[in-house]
Amino acid sequence: MLSNSTILVTGGTGSFGHKFIPMTLEKYNPKKIIVFSRDEMKQWEMAKLFQDDPRVRFFIGDVRDKERLYRALDGVDYVVHAAATKIVPTAEYNPFECVKTNVHGAMNLIDACIDKGIKRVVALSTDKASSPINLYGATKLTSDKLFVAGNAYSGQHPTQFAVVRYGNVMGSRGSVIPFFLSIKEKGELPITDDRMTRFMITLKEGVELVWHAFEDMEGGEIYVKKIPSMNIMDVAKAVAPEAQTKIIGIRPGEKLHEQMIGAEDSYYTYEYAEHFKILPTINNWGNSPERVKDGKKVPEGFVYSSDNNTEWMPRKELESWIQENKDRIGKI
């Protein structure tokens, strides 16, 4: 599907874009990938990595600016929406800015994609959008709902929208593993709560989930990858086995456990070999055969959270992953 196509990635200079672009170039050989983002320095640095590849183009712009989106989407076939204000405390202290990017930006992109005749759009979500307790999660839940409803909003236009949702990306900039690595020499790691658990997913798995969504979607689905969990104490020991730990308490807007599917979603959630799929509640799409395909309905009240997961990542596996990826952790 993506072969010989033109793909635009909003927020394309982030961790996801740095993995999605080389993987997609290698697997699908698209005609063009357009990196759309507002940070000129990140684009400048990223352009150096692809300076000999004419398939990669860069476009300065902000999803808050609908006119700029219209210009960027000329000739585009597929869109991955990765742009967002993502840091929980930043969103709590700058709520208007978070809403402008995560909600208004989603609305702008949906309008622009419909009007420009984009074929398919996949938006990235987060575990924090499931039963949100912080503003970031609330805006991403709103964004998810907007993209799902975009399939009805598009009317007779052919544009289809879907969402992928996953948790903590291992080693991404600002996440817990590079943070622990940066301070481990002090001999003490701050732990918010020793009961805390987190989902663990690699960027490669995140990219593969997006590819699957593009191939499988009929419109309105939320795809949730099956991934292992870890206790935060095991993460700390994998990073710095000799360091002491100090309990500092949960930060504002932070959850004890990550959740990607809530009990309220269970009525419209189906299970597959490697993922779950939350189907739309609107227009009777929740039980449409073309969306369900070979899925198995989950039990009523089913919750997919990092503490009740059936799959757990052993500490040794994370230690091996850190050794294999130590030169890239926290760089993007």
Determine the pLDDT at residue 78.
98
Measured from the Cβ of residue 299, the count of other Cβ atoms closer than 10 Å reads 8
- Known catalytic residues are 128
Domain spans of the chain? 6-167+201-226+259-304
Q: For domain 6-167+201-226+259-304, give the CATH number.
A: 3.40.50.720
pTM: 0.95
Length of the chain in residues, anyone? 332
Please give the structure tokens belonging to residue 85: 């204000």
The share of the chain scoring above pLDDT 70, in percent, equals 99
- CA distances to 127, 128, 154, 240 from 54, rounded to whole Å, are 35, 37, 33, 42
Q: How far apart are CA 162 and CA 173, in angstroms?
A: 26
Question: Is residue 330 scored above 80 in pLDDT?
Answer: no
Look at residue 187 and give its three-state secondary structure.
Answer: coil
What is the average per-residue pLDDT within 223-236?
96
pLDDT number for residue 175:
85
User: How many other CB atoms are there within 10 angstroms of residue 263's CB atom?
Assistant: 13
**What integer is the mean pLDDT of 266-279?**
97
Cα–Cα distance for residue pair 132/117, rounded to 1 Å: 32
Residue 311 has pLDDT above 80, yes or no: yes
In this prediction, residue 149 carries a pLDDT of: 97
Alpha-carbon distances, residue 331 vs 19, 28, 42, 78, 180 (angstroms): 12, 26, 12, 27, 14
- What is the rounded average pLDDT for all residues in the chain? 95
| Average pLDDT value for residue range 68-97 | 96
